Amino acid sequence: MSASKEHWVLTFVCPDQKGIVHAISGAVVEIGGNITESQQYTSLDTGRFFMRLQIEANITKEAFGKQFEEIAARFNMTYVLDHVGRKMKTLVLVSKAGHTLNDLLFRQRSGLLPIEIPLVVGNHPDLASMAEFYGINFEHIKIDSGVDKAQFERHLRQVIEKENIELIVLARYMQILSPQFCSDYAGRIINIHHSFLPGFKGANPYAQAHARGVKLIGATAHFVTEDLDEGPIIEQNVTRVEHSDSKQLLVEIGQDAESKTLTQAVKWFAEHRVLLDGQRTIIFR
């Protein structure tokens, strides 16, 4: 079967060595393709080579994969091949605050964010109507105790499997996930931290920011790991504040940075622009 003007995105990581680009570009030539975007990075810290390509080629995914397999084996590559613009299956967890969810849903519906959200799960019911407005399923699951949390996570695991979830977004979800859950889905859970990391960690960073008299407040989107707030950083933004800004206004100003930062991180992830290099992220913008 054939297709006209199919666009592919290919990302891979491998030990750095000579000849990688030549081998890859050779495979592209052989399938009659054209490289339309290309970014690479060699990590001096880990000796690994990272690359992201967009390729125009009339070929099936199977045929492309076959062509690429031998090279991947030769260079010991970990790779991902996907259609450009395919919507990534995303599960969103929320609590009460709706600003980040609103931004995600509005942009997803506007076609600006290549994700598909089969379900939003909240440990409070507050955001049900917002999800409903955007035609997205909402589940309210109360969490009161450790037992509930275990049950909750078992349920999430079922949803993830059933819906083929590829990305889990904590959109101001105020609960902590278990270390086992974080570890099982490492590199696939993105959280928005309402502070500039490193910096004020844990609860109520805005009160801390006020007490310390900082002149800039910020937000950090990061992968979730077992160490709270210590996962690899994907994106950060800051905004200027004044001595006269109340704690309430700091929260409000911070919410803008939170929405913008989380949406950006999700977009890059869904476009296969985020690769991991130990504790650091490589962002191919």
- Binding status of residue 13 toward a copy of itself by CB under 8 A: no
Catalytic site includes residue 256: no
Give whichever of 30 and 161 is closer to a copy of itself, judged by the CB atom.
30
> Strand 48-56 vs strand 280-283: parallel, antiparallel, or unpaired?
unpaired
Tokens of 140: 């309210």
Distance between CA atoms of 128 and 14, rounded to whole angstroms?
Answer: 44
Helices of type H across 203-284: 205-212, 247-270
Stretch that binds a copy of itself, among 6-14, 146-154, 173-181, 192-200 (CB under 8 A): 192-200
Choosing from 11, 33, 100, 120, the residue that interacts with a copy of itself (CB under 8 A) is 33
Give whichever of 11 and 281 is closer to a copy of itself, judged by the CB atom.
281
Choosing from 10, 214, 266, 270, the residue that interacts with a copy of itself (CB under 8 A) is 214
- Binding status of residue 4 toward a copy of itself by CB under 8 A: no
DSSP 195: S
Stretch that binds a copy of itself, among 119-127, 152-160, 178-186, 227-235 (CB under 8 A): 227-235
| Selected catalytic residue, list 82, 229, 245, 277 | 229
- Binding status of residue 129 toward a copy of itself by CB under 8 A: yes
Q: Tell me the helices (H) and strands (E) count for the chain, helix number first.
A: 8, 13
List the end-to-end C-alpha distance of the chain, in Å, as a whole number: 33
For every residue of 119-179, DSSP letters joined together read: EEEESSSTTHHHHHHTT--EEE----SHHHHHHHHHHHHHHHHHTT--EEEESS--SPPPH
Give whichever of 29 and 180 is closer to a copy of itself, judged by the CB atom.
29
- Smallest gap from Cβ 91 to a copy of itself, in A, equals 22
- Binding status of residue 260 toward a copy of itself by CB under 8 A: yes
Instruction: State the catalytic residues.
Output: 229
